Amino acid sequence: MVDHRPSSRRPPSSWKEDPVPHVLLVLLLVLIVLIGVSIWRAFAGLAPQVAAALVAGITTVLASVLTPVVSKQWERRRQVQQEQREHKLRLYKEFLEFWLRVVVGDKTGVAEVSEKETLDFQTTFTQKLILWGADDVVRKCAQFAKSFASSETQPTHAQPEQLERFGELLAAVRLDVGHKNQDLEPADLLALLVTHSDIRPHLAQPG
């Protein structure tokens, strides 16, 4: 019986995932500081009213130049993220539909997955996973596939290690589509498959 309960929570995001906005922000701050120092030195001897008018004019010019650039960059980033999300949702939906059919299809009257269907799915899914899958999902999927490659066990007669890897993969998928998985462990996701007699005995029990 598997009783390992690895954390399925999303690790803290890092600026390395998308450094462009952060670099732009730093450059913008440095530019503002340099301009501010230069203005202070240049206008130190001017009358307060004149200096204030010049500063306001320069600020307006800078805002009109930088605002469209920054806005365009953020809009482009948002569009890319939206496109990636749409591809991911379709990819993960196909994955879940296939594996639920493999695991519980024979219990629900659905035709069993043939060897040709399995090979076709593996080919197309792998291509899409490499393109659109999140890093952790790709990693967990590789671990899941490896657990079967090292065993002659069929998916419908999975061993504890294989079930554990499958649960971790499901948790990674949920994280990638935006869920927090708060107080939700891989075993909880596997528990949704308790109707399958070969899986029930291997489900992790709450610690």
CA 51 to chain centre: 50
pLDDT at 2: 42
pLDDT, tens digit (0-9, with 9 covering 90-100), for 39-81: 666 666 666 676 677 667 777 877 777 778 778 888 888 888 8
And the tokens for 93? 């939906």
pLDDT, tens digit (0-9, with 9 covering 90-100), for 180-189: 999 888 888 8
Are 33 and 98 in a shared domain? no
Q: What percent of the chain has pLDDT over 90?
A: 23
Phi-psi sector, 64: left (phi>0), alpha (psi -120 to 50), beta: alpha
Task: Tell me, yes or no, whether 119 lies in a domain.
Answer: yes
Are 101 and 21 in a shared domain? no
Beta strands in the chain (DSSP E): none
Domain count of the chain? 2
pLDDT at 60: 80
Q: What is the DSSP letter of 189?
A: H
Are 51 and 104 in a shared domain? no
Q: Which amino acid is present at 66?
A: L
Task: Tell me, yes or no, whether 95 lies in a domain.
Answer: yes
State which of 54, 77, 100 marks the end of a domain. Answer: 77
Q: Is the pLDDT of residue 206 over 70?
A: no
Are 93 and 146 in a shared domain? yes
pLDDT at 127: 93
Task: Tell me, yes or no, whether 9 lies in a domain.
Answer: no
**179 closest CA partner among 6, 13, 10, 15:** 10
Are 104 and 188 in a shared domain? yes
Lowest mean pLDDT among 7-21, 85-99, 159-173: 7-21
Provide the domain limits for residue 62. Answer: 17-77
Task: Tell me, yes or no, whether 36 lies in a domain.
Answer: yes
Task: Calculate ∠ Cα 94-202-4, nearest 5°.
Answer: 90
Name the burial class of residue 39, with classes exposed (0-12), middle (13-18) and buried (19+) by CB atoms within 10 angstroms of its CB.
Answer: middle
Are 69 and 136 in a shared domain? no
Are 147 and 97 in a shared domain? yes
Are 71 and 90 in a shared domain? no
Phi-psi sector, 47: left (phi>0), alpha (psi -120 to 50), beta: beta
Lowest mean pLDDT among 4-13, 26-35, 53-62: 4-13
Q: Is the pLDDT of residue 157 over 70?
A: no
Are 38 and 138 in a shared domain? no
Phi-psi sector, 125: left (phi>0), alpha (psi -120 to 50), beta: alpha
Q: What is the DSSP letter of 88?
A: H
Q: Is the pLDDT of residue 12 over 70?
A: no
Name the burial class of residue 10, with classes exposed (0-12), middle (13-18) and buried (19+) by CB atoms within 10 angstroms of its CB.
Answer: middle
